[in-house]
Amino acid sequence: MIKVMFICLGNICRSPMAEFIFKDLVRKEGLDKNFEISSAGTSAEEEGNPVYPLARSELERHGISCAGKRAKKYEPSDYANADYILAMEARHVRSILRISGDPAGKVHRLADFTPNPHDIADPWYTRDFPTAYKDIYQGCAAFLEYLKKTLPASSRG
Ligand code: 4NP
């Protein structure tokens, strides 16, 4: 089982988009039984709230549902229960380091798996949800390719 947790600030836009895009990708590859996939925010501001409507409708435009998701804050105890903690921005990486530390080297920035490492801009401010979707999709696809190259065949189901 590979446990992946996506992280942004509020857990109502980017990290839930990443959670449900990545769930969709692994399901389409028949790998869903190998993964536990979740998301959280470094801030408690939105805790308990559903996915922001424009993020939800962008996912729906791509045939992806995020029904039932509620925002959760990243807690120190989440660290032990993850293999990969994938942040949208460098500042989220710094927040994660303050909250849990990273003794096992689990924390990465999502788009660092792509040929174009970058922070994924916050669509809460840019209002550009299609670009957020594209950037997050590319990061998730590149991360899955990375896993497929590095994991032993025996753990791929
Ligand atoms: P997210 O976007 O970090 O991608 O979920 C944000 C959501 C809410 C706020 C900021 C960013 N906010 O300030 O409430």
Question: Into how many domains does the chain fold?
Answer: 1
Which atom of ligand 1 is nearest the CA belonging to 132?
A: 4
Name every protein residue with a CB atom under 6 angstroms from any ligand 1 atom.
8-14, 45-46, 122, 124
Determine the Cα–Cα distance for residues 64 and 109; give it in Å rounded to an integer: 23
- Residue 25, in any domain of the structure: yes
Please confirm, yes or no, whether 8 is among the known catalytic residues: yes
Which one of the listed residues 32, 83, 119, 122 is annotated catalytic? 122
Domain hosting 23: range is 2-152
Q: Percent helix, strand and coil across the chain, each rounded to 5?
A: 50, 15, 35
Contact 17, 132 (CB under 8 A): yes
Mean local confidence (pLDDT), 25-43: 96
Binning pLDDT at 50, 70 and 90, where does residue 156 land? low
Q: Is the pLDDT of residue 152 over 70?
A: no
Please confirm, yes or no, whether 14 is among the known catalytic residues: yes
- Residue 157, in any domain of the structure: no
Which one of the listed residues 14, 24, 56, 109 is annotated catalytic? 14
Cα–Cα distances (Å) from 65 to 6, 44, 60, 137, in that order, read: 17, 24, 6, 15
Residue 144 sits in a domain whose CATH number is 3.40.50.2300
Nearest to 139 by CA among 34, 39, 58, 22: 22
Tens digits of residue pLDDT in 84-141: 999 999 999 999 999 999 999 999 999 999 999 999 999 999 999 999 999 999 999 9
Alpha helices in 5-128 (DSSP H): 14-28, 53-61, 76-80, 90-99, 123-126
pLDDT for 150: 82
Tens digits of residue pLDDT in 37-82: 999 999 999 999 999 999 999 999 999 999 999 999 999 999 999 9
- Residue 127, in any domain of the structure: yes
Kindly give the distance from the C-alpha atom of residue 92 to the centroid of ligand 1, in angstroms, as a whole number.
Answer: 12
Global confidence as pTM: 0.96
